[in-house]
Amino acid sequence: MDKLNELTIEEASRLLHAGDISSLELTEACLRQIEKTDTEIGSFLELTAELAREQARAADTRLNGSDGVHPLTGIPIGLKDLFLTEGVRTTCASKILENFSPAFDSTVVARLREAGAVIVGKLNMDEFAMGSSCENSGLGQTSNPWNLARVTGGSSGGSASSVAARQVLGAYGTDTGGSIRLPASYCGVVGMKPTYGRVSRYGVIAFASSLDQVGPFATTTRGAAMLLRTVAGKDPLDSTSIDTPVPDYVEAVGGNLEGVTIGVPGEYFVEGIEPDVDAAVRTAIGQLEQLGAKVVEIELPHTEYAVATYYVVATAEASSNLGRYDGVRYGVRRGEEDGLLEMYGKTRDGGFGPEVKRRIMLGTYALSAGYYDAYYLKAMKVRTLIRGDFERAFEKCDALAMPTSPATAFEIGARMGDPLQMYLSDILTISVNLAGLPGLSLPCGFDGNDLPIGLQLVTAPLAEPTLFKVAAAFEDATDYSKRMPEIAR
């Protein structure tokens, strides 16, 4: 069977369980695709080819047995390079962790191993997940498979590009302010951020602990549902993980949208939105209505404060979380011959890139004596107002539909000299993190440059089944998820 790497997760799982293909054949197809395309794309920071082959052989043994088989058994998966993976270099795309090899697995990795998934390697990202374009990686550039001169979106750029280029069947990333949904939109794949606490963050290198959440990438909604089901659930090692049963998200997929109410927030069709994006998303909302959904207008009045609120909360938490990288506890040590303070300074100055330094300084300022009340405390109060907007909205509708981004993927280098313009890339995704809600981006069209456009769907906390139902209904009625970039062929 040719081009096994182009299979969806659900197709590959069915063929593996039927014995029509082997995991080793599937894994070799992905490794060949990586060898063929990754010199140009740059998705991977660490390719674990021999480990993947070993895991594939173990998966085949398991598939040929009578018990212990999981829907993800034998499926090749990529991991954003912030999931601790025992014995595999884990860098967070930062020079300060360039040689770090963890002694244990994150809960996500442990659950994937238990399921029998095949981990192909670690994927590029913005350093410490701080960025909207994957240009802030300290270890290499990643390009958009649809146009190599364009960004992938960030911070989970390598995860999105690897799935779009059919290098792996699925991948995991993290979303702090849009870091799954934005690259999914730019790269034309499905990217999903679950409810805060739905997936354990234990062993996931932290950026902003009250915002970070793990989520999947796939070429289809059903694939994303399978990936989420595998890693979701209570974890005693993460005090913020939610102790509620995990439904079978795949079962939620199917049927029309009769009885589903879709809310459209006017605040998300912002001034400056690209006309192609506006048209594609409005057309997609019309298609949801044709599928049986009722569409209503919704107001989210505090949306205009979301970017400012986010960049106070996120940088303050980053400042706190990154204090541990000092050359003593963690990090590549530099300048120790000049004394302790010099060692601290040289370690952090040489190890962190410009964007990480910028955010640490912003966050430290916001938390400093005399400014805490004016910035961080006020931001947390506005965060409560934003959450309240969504709570009132979901009294009137089951899901929200809006653009993932006001624009398609921009050219590499176009915004690196303008941090504020870069921060505004996340203007339509940030509020969802501040409110702790589940959100999903899936392709809904292409602009005049043949670049993907993302439709963003959002539901109330723990309403992921509704999210998958709406997304799959749209996906089944269109062919956008079946399209792939030329480099992937």
Angle formed by the axes of helices 23-41 and 49-63, nearest 10°: 150
Quick one: tokens of 154?
A: 């960030």
Residues 6+ apart with CB under 8 A from 22: 16, 56, 60, 63, 74
* Number of alpha carbons in the 13 Å side-chain half-sphere of residue 489: 6
Sheet (strand 452-459) strand order: 44-47, 118-123, 76-80, 170-174, 214-218, 190-193, 439-446, 452-459, 399-403, 261-265, 294-298
Residue 357 annotated to the active site: no
Catalytic residue among 13, 94, 132, 179: 179
Catalytic residue among 43, 80, 156, 405: 80
Q: Are 476 and 455 in contact (CB under 8 A)?
A: no
For residues 429-442, one letter each, b for 16 or more C-beta atoms within 10 angstroms of the residue's C-beta and e for the rest, the string is bbbbbbbbbbbbbb
Q: How many residues does the chain have?
A: 489
Strands 294-298 and 261-265 come out as parallel
Question: What distance in Å separates the CA atoms of residue 482 and residue 489, rounded to the nearest whole number?
Answer: 12
Question: What distance in Å separates the CA atoms of residue 141 and residue 232, rounded to the nearest whole number?
Answer: 31
Helix or strand run (H / E) with residue 207 = none
Catalytic residue among 22, 23, 137, 155: 155
Question: What distance in Å separates the CA atoms of residue 168 and residue 239, rounded to the nearest whole number?
Answer: 32
Residue 106 annotated to the active site: no
Strands 439-446 and 399-403 come out as unpaired
Question: What distance in Å separates the CA atoms of residue 424 and residue 211, rounded to the nearest whole number?
Answer: 18
Residue 405 annotated to the active site: no
Catalytic residues: 80, 155, 179
